Chain A
Amino acid sequence: DAMVIQNPRYQVTQFGKPVTLSCSQTLNHNVMYWYQQKSSQAPKLLFHYYDKDFNNEADTPDNFQSRRPNTSFCFLDIRSPGLGDAAMYLCATSRAPGADTQYFGPGTRLTVL
C-alpha cells in the first residue's frame, strides 16, 4: 500500500547530541512537511518542501534543519537537542500545496535525556 513511513518510531538521544529523523513516502507527492507535536497539544508546522523548494516557518528554531535528497525521502535534523525538543515528530505529504489533503506518517517519538 502507498504510505508515509517514519523511522524510527521511537528515538532516544542525549542532551546536545545531534539526531536525525527519517521520513519516506510511496505516494509520489510533491510536498513533504515536518510537524512537532508536544503532549496534549496540536501539531505545529516546522517547515515543508515543495519539490526542492524549502519553506521554513518563521518561528522554527535554527536548531532544526531539513533535507530532501529526492522525492521519496525527507529528513529532520536536530543539531543540538534540548529537553524542550522532546515531542512527537510527524511527517506528512500532499500532492500539492493548498487545500490538498495531507497524509501523515505514524510519527517518531523523541526522548531527550
Chain B
Amino acid sequence: AQKITQTQPGMFVQEKEAVTLDCTYDTSDQSYGLFWYKQPSSGEMIFLIYQGSYDEQNATEGRYSLNFQKARKSANLVISASQLGDSAMYFCAMSLRRGSNYKLTFGKGTLLTVNP
C-alpha cells in the first residue's frame, strides 16, 4: 500500500536556526509527486514546495528546500533561518495515479514550534 510516514509528531527549533522535518514514502510507482504543505492554527493549507519523482535536482523555494533521496524514498523538508511565523503543522504528501484518477495522500503531520 502506498503511504507517507512522518515520524516526528512534534519538533522544536530556536529562532534563526535550521530545522529538518522528516518524510518517507512507500510506493512501487515510478511517477509520483511529493509536496510539503504548512497549516497554521487558522486551518489553511499553504503549499510550500514540490518535487517530481524524475527531478534530479532538489527543489528549493526561498527558505524551504526539499532533500530528495529517491533510493531511500525520503523527501525531507529543510527550513533555514527559522522564524516565529514558521510555527505550524507541516504535512508531507504524495500524488499517485490510480486508474484515470490521481490522489494526494498526506502523512500525519509534524507540529513545529519555533522558540524565540
How far apart are B23's CB and chain A's nearest CB, in angstroms? 12
Which B residues from 77 to 116 make CB contacts under 8 A with A? Answer: 91, 95, 97, 101-104, 106-109
State whether A92 touches B45 (Cβ < 8 A): yes
State whether B106 touches A43 (Cβ < 8 A): yes
Q: Which of A17-25, A72-80, A99-107 contacts B (4 or more CB under 8 A)?
A: A99-107
State whether B104 touches A106 (Cβ < 8 A): no
Interface of B: prevailing SS: strand
Given A42-B91, A42-B109 in contact, is the A102-B104 Cβ separation under 8 Å?
Answer: yes
B32 interface residue, CB < 8 Å from A? yes
The bracket for how many chain A residues form the interface is 20 to 34
Residues from chain B with Cβ under 8 Å of A105 in the complex: 44
State whether A90 touches B104 (Cβ < 8 A): no
Residues from chain B with Cβ under 8 Å of A107 in the complex: 43-45
Closest residue to B34 on the A side, CB-wise? A99
Q: Which of A48, A100, A109 contacts B43 (CB 8 A)?
A: A109
Chain A residues in the interface with B (C-beta under 8 A):
33, 41-43, 45, 48, 50, 55, 88, 90, 92, 97-107, 109
Known pairs A88-B43, A103-B47, A109-B43; list 10 more (Cβ under 8 Å): A33-B104, A42-B106, A42-B109, A45-B103, A97-B102, A99-B33, A99-B95, A104-B47, A106-B44, A107-B45
